[in-house]
Amino acid sequence: MLKIRGIVPLVVLALIAGCGWSDAAETIRDLRTLPQDARAYLSPASEAQPAATAEDQERLDARYNEQFLSPWRQTQPRHGVDEVDRSFKRYRKAPGYAENGRPHAPEWIDELRALARFETYPNAGYAGMTIRPADVRVLPTKKPRFGGLNGYPFDLFQQTALPVNTPVYVVHATRDKDWLLVETAWFVGWIPAEDVARMSEAGIRAWERGPYVTILRDGVPVYGAADGMFLFHAPLGAMFPLAKARDDGWEVLVTVANEKREAVTRLAFVASGPVARKPLPLTPRNIAGQINELIREPYGWGGLNGSRDCSATLRDLFAPFGIWLPRNSSEQARQGGGVINLKRLRPEVRKEQILSRGIPFLTLLWEPGHIMLYVGSVQDEILVFHNFWSVKARDRKGRVQQKVIVGQAAITTLHPGEELEGETVRTSNRLHALWAMTMMVPPAP
């Protein structure tokens, strides 16, 4: 059993006498009682032990880099026009609600579809690079689509978010040239044309050569190496070709745009500290350090407002280690060194499987629509790191009686908000919903 350093052991799921209903403005008990410091759950015997050999991690990192840069070597779209058009047809039937609570009109979707001019698809076909953070949209519009009057923050037109300097393949442009349909290593979707610059072959080769550095903290400022001019903030998980290591930091290559929106490769500088050569050694201690950079970060459905949802949190967490994770939680659950099917097991057997076979900091736990990282156990209770929106207490008819907004990345049990339960209401125990356990690296022989 894992012991938490420096705190009195907690019975994390014991009901507090007289608890009953909590004030919805309060946070859940797990966030008050469990240390929100991933280092507290490290095992001294294994925290510095590499989870993969140097050769294996280099191989994983090479695969990551190849995947990340792969859109530049496309010669045709991976998605046909019928597949892209399917979203327009789907949302014309169910256009949902706008930000003002009023329903969208189906005719609005027709206007967007006419703007897409699919009769010319594909009308682009070139390599591009994001020159600023970009939201990838299901349809070519910044307007949200909520499923109901209380749908926030789940804008179903938000596909994902791309950091600055993400490779894309530009497939198609709208009639007014304001939106571009792009394919990335993760997704296909629409982004504003102003967020993309056209790459040259020389620029592509400069990025492909490597080696690379990786960013270990959100919001790291990047400056011009010659003039010191601020260029942009780089997020955790970003990577850049390394030009030269300096005593005070790193010179790297970045891509900016000229007045014609053509990509220009520029020498830039990032200060030492939250930057390392890629890949970062895959040890529990280093993973815990990256978790601490993400913990308490706000929840953002599909990357809205520069934040992350559950799958983006784990994708970016493992990016510095050169471990590739897809964008979608169900696809993430099929990655790694091995998948254990939990779907047909009784809850107590699932728990035993996780406690006996799960590797803390290196095991994903997946239920449909949500993914978490197993970090260990306390008092035989499974603990996970994940980013989630809320906890709901429902009555026997499934109606929501209380909702507590969490809205952040946190370390919790598999039953966050259990203290909200009463005689007639229950909260979701994620142990009962788990379908799979995924090992991030192959188990040791």
Residue 20's pLDDT is 36
Over range 324-336, report the average pLDDT: 88
Over range 395-411, report the average pLDDT: 93
Task: Give the length of the chain.
Answer: 445
Residue 444's pLDDT is 56
Range with the lowest mean pLDDT among 3-7, 314-318, 338-342? 3-7
Give the side-chain half-sphere CA count within 13 A for 292. 14
Q: Are residues 286 and 434 in the same domain?
A: yes
For residue 351, give the nearest of 276, 430, 418 by alpha carbon: 430
Q: Are residues 180 and 88 in the same domain?
A: yes
Instruction: Specify if 18 maps to a domain.
Output: no
- Phi/psi at 89 (5° precision): -65, -40
Residue 5's pLDDT is 47
Q: Are residues 261 and 184 in the same domain?
A: no
Domain boundary among 215, 245, 277: 277
Distances (CA, A) of 431 to 13, 25, 195, 356, 372: 13, 26, 41, 15, 12
**β strands within 37-175, DSSP E:** 126-130, 134-137, 158-162, 167-173
Residue 27's pLDDT is 86
Q: How does residue 132 score in pLDDT terms, banded at 50, 70 and 90?
A: very high
Q: Are residues 271 and 298 in the same domain?
A: no
Q: Are residues 272 and 305 in the same domain?
A: no
Q: Are residues 318 and 413 in the same domain?
A: yes
**Gyration radius of the chain's alpha carbons:** 23
Give the side-chain half-sphere CA count within 13 A for 127. 21
Residue 421, number of CB atoms within 10 A of its CB: 18
Q: Are residues 314 and 431 in the same domain?
A: yes
| DSSP summary character for residue 407 | E
Whether residue 400 is predicted with pLDDT greater than 50 in this model: the reply is yes
In the block, residue with structure tokens 């993914």: 371
Q: Are residues 79 and 157 in the same domain?
A: yes
Instruction: Specify if 39 maps to a domain.
Output: yes
Instruction: Give the rounded distance of the alpha carbon of 355 from its chain centre.
Output: 25
> Which helix H or strand E contains 209, and what residues bound it?
helix 201-209
Q: Is there a contact between 22 and 420 (Cβ–Cβ < 8 Å)?
A: yes
Q: Are residues 395 and 376 in the same domain?
A: yes
Instruction: Specify if 65 maps to a domain.
Output: no
Domain membership of residue 359 as a residue range: 29-52+282-439
Whether residue 116 is predicted with pLDDT greater than 60 in this model: the reply is yes
Give pLDDT tens digits for 172-224: 999 999 999 999 999 999 999 999 999 999 999 999 999 999 999 999 999 99
Contacts (Cβ under 8 Å, ≥6 apart) of 61: 278, 279, 321, 322
Residue 337's pLDDT is 74
d(CA 39, CA 288): 6
Instruction: Specify if 64 maps to a domain.
Output: no
Instruction: Specify if 366 maps to a domain.
Output: yes
Distances (CA, A) of 227 to 223, 231, 254: 8, 11, 14
Instruction: Specify if 21 maps to a domain.
Output: no
For residue 167, give the nearest of 72, 63, 44 by alpha carbon: 72
Residue 11's pLDDT is 32
Instruction: Specify if 9 maps to a domain.
Output: no
Give pLDDT tens digits for 305-319: 999 999 999 999 999
Distances (CA, A) of 85 to 120, 135, 188, 192, 333: 13, 19, 12, 18, 28
Domain boundary among 277, 301, 317: 277
Q: Are residues 291 and 434 in the same domain?
A: yes
Single-letter amino acid, residue 28? I
Single-letter amino acid, residue 87? S
Query: In total, how many domains does the chain have?
Result: 3
Give pLDDT tens digits for 27-49: 899 999 999 999 999 999 999 99
Cis amide bond preceding 279, omega within 30: yes
Mean pLDDT of the chain: 92
Q: How does residue 12 score in pLDDT terms, banded at 50, 70 and 90?
A: very low
Domain boundary among 231, 248, 277: 277
Indicate the pTM of the whole model: 0.92
Q: Would you list the DSSP string of 233-247?
A: EEPTT-EEEEEEEET
Residue 279's pLDDT is 98
Single-letter amino acid, residue 83? E
Whether residue 255 is predicted with pLDDT greater than 80 in this model: the reply is yes
Q: Are residues 156 and 298 in the same domain?
A: no
CATH number at residue 246: 2.30.30.40
Encode burial over 38-76: b for 16+ CB neighbours within 10 A, e otherwise.
Answer: bebbbeeeebeeebbeeeebeebbeebbeebbebbebee
Whether residue 338 is predicted with pLDDT greater than 90 in this model: the reply is no
Q: Is there a contact between 193 and 177 (Cβ–Cβ < 8 Å)?
A: yes
Q: Is there a contact between 109 and 95 (Cβ–Cβ < 8 Å)?
A: yes
Q: Would you list the DSSP string of 316-369?
A: HHHGGGT----SSHHHHTT-TTEEEE-TTS-HHHHHHHHHHH--TTSEEEEETT
- Which tops the pLDDT comparison, 263 or 5? 263
Residue 24's pLDDT is 43
Residue 322's pLDDT is 97
Range with the lowest mean pLDDT among 11-25, 226-240, 418-432? 11-25
Instruction: Specify if 62 maps to a domain.
Output: no
CATH number at residue 379: 3.90.1720.10
Sign of the dihedral defined by the CA atoms of residues 73, 191, 187, 124, in that order: negative
| DSSP summary character for residue 19 | -
Q: Are residues 345 and 390 in the same domain?
A: yes
